[in-house]
Amino acid sequence: MTAESAPPVPRRDESLALAGKLMATRALVNKAIADRMTLSVVIGILLVAMSAMVGALWPPLKETFANFPTALLDALGKAFPGADLATPAGWTNAELMSMVAPAGAIAIGVISAVRATAGEEEDKTLGMLLGAPVGRIPFLLVKIDAMIVHVLVVCLFLAGGLVLGSAIGGLGLSATGIFGAAAHTALLGILFGVIAIALGAATGSRRLATAATGALAALAFAVSVFLPLSDTLADGAKISPWYYYTSSNPLVNGPDWAHLSVLGVAALIIGGVAVATFERRDLRG
């Protein structure tokens, strides 16, 4: 092999720069995940406790629920798909999966997200973090990944809680149903977390990003609950992320891959918008 055809040898300074970038990225990943891990575990433990309580209450209450008026049970099932107090899975849906579990996943997603962008900007720590040899886009991707980890930790606790609650109350929940419930909860939380990151990246305001995401989550929940009560307006619920979270009753039927895909694609699109916005905006701090 001649000298002209030999591959170029990387220069020492380029190797050192790459090593420095990898070390900075690793440190950023570790910090981003550690920042909200304690809160993720606390929320997860609360969901386990709630799941155990739901399981423990089913045996003494199931006879009472069997005597509830059919019209009331039908209305509850329309507002909260899968919420049927006459069955153990329906009881779990009504007491845990309809509001409590998704609220926990959305809460940790939003809290992690707003700290990732707007929080760093308002605390005047963003400039220092971006001063490391990482770059804006890798920085934001690391923060998004950390938010996803926090949501997944909460949903792993949720799955464990469902197993525990089923054992305590003899609910008979299937492994497929538990996985489906946890997966749908995770993607719903991730979607609203990404929305919060996008709003934080666009505004630089932690308060605005939190309030706007919370308002959107509440509005989406209301749309999914109230529109199905009308036969004329029922299809309008499909504009809400909550429809893809709950309408297929994943706790009973397992994961609905089409609905999970809708939530996942929506999160990817909004994440792309967040990255583009964060890259171009004149940042403070």
Which domain, by its residues, includes 136?
17-280
Helix and strand totals (H; E) in the chain: 13, 0
Q: How confident is the model at residue 16 (pLDDT cuts 50, 70, 90)?
A: very low
Q: Examine residue 215 and state whether it is found in any structural domain, yes or no.
A: yes
CA–CA dist 254, 184 (Å, integer): 10
Q: Please state, rounded to an integer, the average pLDDT across all residues of the chain.
A: 83
Query: Could you count the other beta carbons within 10 Å of the beta carbon of residue 283?
Result: 15
pLDDT, tens digit (0-9, with 9 covering 90-100), for 125-169: 555 555 555 677 888 888 899 999 999 999 999 999 999 999 999
Look at 23-37, 50-64, 215-229 and tell me which has the smallest mean pLDDT.
23-37
The pTM for the full model equals 0.84
- HSE value, Cβ hemisphere, 13 Å, CA-based, for 133: 9
- HSE value, Cβ hemisphere, 13 Å, CA-based, for 169: 25
Quick one: pLDDT at residue 75?
58
Whether 253 shows a pLDDT value over 60: the answer reads yes
Residues 6+ apart with CB under 8 A from 281: 201, 202, 204
Q: How confident is the model at residue 94 (pLDDT cuts 50, 70, 90)?
A: confident
Higher pLDDT, 108 or 202: 108
Q: What's the structural domain count of the chain?
A: 1
Structure-token pair, residue 4: 């002209």
Contact 178, 91 (CB under 8 A): no
Q: Examine residue 105 and state whether it is found in any structural domain, yes or no.
A: yes
Which residue, 281, 31, 253, 1, is CA-closest to 149?
A: 31
CA–CA dist 28, 138 (Å, integer): 10
Q: Please compute Rg for the chain using Cα positions.
A: 23
> Average pLDDT in the 193-203 region?
91
Q: How confident is the model at residue 205 (pLDDT cuts 50, 70, 90)?
A: confident
Q: Examine residue 162 and state whether it is found in any structural domain, yes or no.
A: yes
Q: Examine residue 233 and state whether it is found in any structural domain, yes or no.
A: yes
Q: Examine residue 10 and state whether it is found in any structural domain, yes or no.
A: no
CA–CA dist 265, 64 (Å, integer): 42
pLDDT, tens digit (0-9, with 9 covering 90-100), for 52-83: 999 999 998 887 766 665 655 565 666 566 67
Quick one: pLDDT at residue 11?
59
Structure-token pair, residue 188: 């719903």
Q: Examine residue 4 and state whether it is found in any structural domain, yes or no.
A: no
Q: Examine residue 92 and state whether it is found in any structural domain, yes or no.
A: yes
Terminal-to-terminal C-alpha distance of the chain: 53
